[in-house]
């Protein structure tokens, strides 16, 4: 699936009118960015609560299997990789790239491995820096259905990536990001300004089983340009901007995967041909802790509580919401899209209908603001920076203790003063490392 910045006569949303139910199995889902996949260990994820494990075989080819050993249902991702095969940590059963069991230590050397001692395998590919998995049968996988950002591959374009797990289902994430009206308020001071909150003119250009094409513009200032905002089913929201006078093009691609009933993962790509040199050369982890995390956390708790309120009421969104034509057109169109096409989804919250929704058993308040588990732990850049920061903190503390001991033992007054200064400097550096370490752990909260 190719996404163009400029509108073309042939729409990516053209589909047979007879097909009126979205088949979530016949889709590609984004798992993680290529740089965030561990090189020498299994990587686990889920899709609608179905567990998967991802790894690379000896040839460096990506492999995706059901994350469940057929022997006693242990997680294969808890095991290890041996010669490109994944070994179950429980009894040592080993599985190859196609899910076939290749070794069972408990069987005699001349015994045949049972035919049903296998796990399902799934098509998996790398595309534009993202690892994608096909949820259906391998032979039905169609590479052209992977959303492609054509501008991203043009000379002069630059992009930044960000990934995070969120404690609510995918439909609430999509509702949140298909709503430009909330940005000046929820993200005031970070990527918006509450003084810019105003009526919007919003249009649904096209809506079909493949998604929604929309656009919006501000009404306060005359001759405002249109911003394009599309939903490409089932997992992409795409903002596109164009400044023709300066030749600037860019956008924000917000991919998502429904991990489970109250969990989703987002993969965000900011791209354009107008990025400043500072952003281009800024370490990824600095961008994440200073900007991306704060943007996502600006309304994370609000969405968690919004979802909880709706589920406690036990009513449809049609009965709960009071939508405005000057802010909520695309939000409503998405929820109505779920009503019309989403009946096969394992769970969803439409505008007038819902399926398998309800309060999860986890503590939503505790789970909602955990930057370390939701981002740092799964982001290669932030995780490495976190580990290095922690190591430096321990080193500085150790140096301070050693120098303090030396200061006590020395009788030279000048040397003692120099050592005390060094102790104070080491303590200051340890304190600075601790302050930085906290940035990888604690979430931003609005006041």
CA distance 200 to 229: 13
pLDDT of 345 higher than 60: yes
- pTM over the 0.85 mark: yes
Neighbours of 363 (CB within 10 A): 9
Helix, coil or strand: residue 172: helix
Model confidence at 61, in pLDDT bands (50, 70, 90)? Answer: very high
pLDDT of 166 higher than 60: yes
What digits encode the pLDDT tens for the residues 248-271? 788 999 999 999 988 999 999 999
- Where residue 273 falls (left for φ over 0; alpha for ψ -120 to 50; beta otherwise) is alpha
Q: Give the residue with greater pLDDT, 334 vs 16.
A: 334
Contacts for 429-438 with beta carbons within 8 Å, 24 or more apart?
A: 429/392, 429/396, 430/393, 430/396, 430/397, 430/400, 433/389, 433/390, 433/392, 433/393, 433/396, 434/393, 436/389, 437/386, 437/389, 437/390, 437/393
Residue 225 is predicted with a pLDDT of 84
CA distance 261 to 347: 7
| Mean pLDDT of the chain, nearest integer | 90
Percent of the chain exceeding pLDDT 90 equals: 74
Nearest to 69 by CA among 141, 120, 114, 143: 120
pLDDT of 2 higher than 70: no
What digits encode the pLDDT tens for the residues 202-234? 999 999 999 999 999 999 887 788 899 999 999
Nearest to 317 by CA among 304, 332, 330: 332
Residue 293 is predicted with a pLDDT of 94
Q: Look up residue 72 and give its two tokens.
A: 């006693």
What digits encode the pLDDT tens for the residues 296-325? 999 999 999 999 999 999 999 999 999 999
Across the range 93-116, mean pLDDT stands at 94
Residue 176 is predicted with a pLDDT of 96
């Amino acid at each position: 699936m190719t996404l163009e910045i400029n509108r073309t006569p042939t729409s990516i949303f053209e589909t047979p009118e007879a097909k009126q139910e979205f088949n979530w199995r016949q889709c590609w889902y984004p798992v993680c960015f290529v740089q965030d996949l561990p090189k020498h260990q299994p990587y686990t994820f889920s899709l609608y609560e179905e567990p998967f494990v991802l790894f690379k075989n000896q040839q460096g080819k990506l492999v995706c299997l059901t994350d469940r050993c057929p022997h006693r249902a242990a997680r294969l991702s808890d095991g290890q990789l041996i010669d490109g095969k994944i070994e179950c940590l429980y009894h040592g059963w080993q599985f190859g790239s196609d899910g076939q069991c290749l070794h069972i230590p408990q069987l005699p050397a001349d015994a045949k491995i049972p035919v049903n001692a296998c796990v399902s395998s799934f098509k998996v590919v790398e595309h534009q820096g993202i690892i994608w998995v096909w949820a259906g049968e391998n032979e039905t996988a169609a590479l052209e259905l992977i959303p492609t950002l054509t501008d991203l591959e043009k000379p002069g374009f630059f992009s930044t990536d960000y990934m995070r797990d969120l404690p609510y289902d995918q439909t609430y994430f999509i509702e949140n990001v298909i709503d430009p009206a909330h940005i000046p308020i929820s993200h005031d001071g970070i990527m918006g300004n509450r003084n810019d909150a105003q009526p919007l003119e919003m249009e649904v250009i096209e809506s079909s089983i493949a998604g929604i094409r929309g656009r919006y513009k501000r009404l306060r200032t005359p001759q405002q340009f249109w911003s394009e905002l599309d939903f490409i089913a089932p997992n992409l929201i795409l903002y596109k901007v164009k400044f023709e006078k300066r030749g600037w093009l860019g956008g924000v691609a917000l991919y998502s995967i429904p991990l489970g009933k109250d969990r989703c993962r987002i993969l965000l790509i900011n791209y354009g041909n107008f990025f400043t040199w500072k952003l281009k050369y800024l370490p990824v982890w600095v961008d994440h802790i200073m900007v991306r995390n704060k943007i996502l956390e600006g309304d994370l708790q609000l969405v968690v509580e919004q979802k909880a309120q709706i589920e406690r009421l036990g009513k449809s969104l049609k009965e709960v919401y009071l939508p405005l034509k000057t802010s909520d057109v695309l939000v409503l169109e998405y929820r109505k899209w779920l009503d019309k096409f989403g009946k096969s989804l394992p769970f969803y919250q439409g505008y007038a209908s819902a399926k398998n929704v309800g309060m999860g058993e986890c503590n939503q308040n505790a789970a909602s603001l955990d930057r370390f588990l939701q981002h740092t732990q799964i982001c290669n850049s932030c995780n490495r920076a976190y580990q290095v920061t922690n190591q430096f903190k321990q080193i500085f503390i150790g140096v301070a203790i050693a120098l303090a001991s030396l200061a006590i033992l020395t009788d030279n007054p000048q040397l003692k003063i120099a050592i005390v200064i060094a102790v104070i400097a080491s303590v200051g550096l340890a304190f600075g490392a601790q302050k930085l370490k906290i940035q990888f752990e604690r979430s931003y909260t609005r006041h």
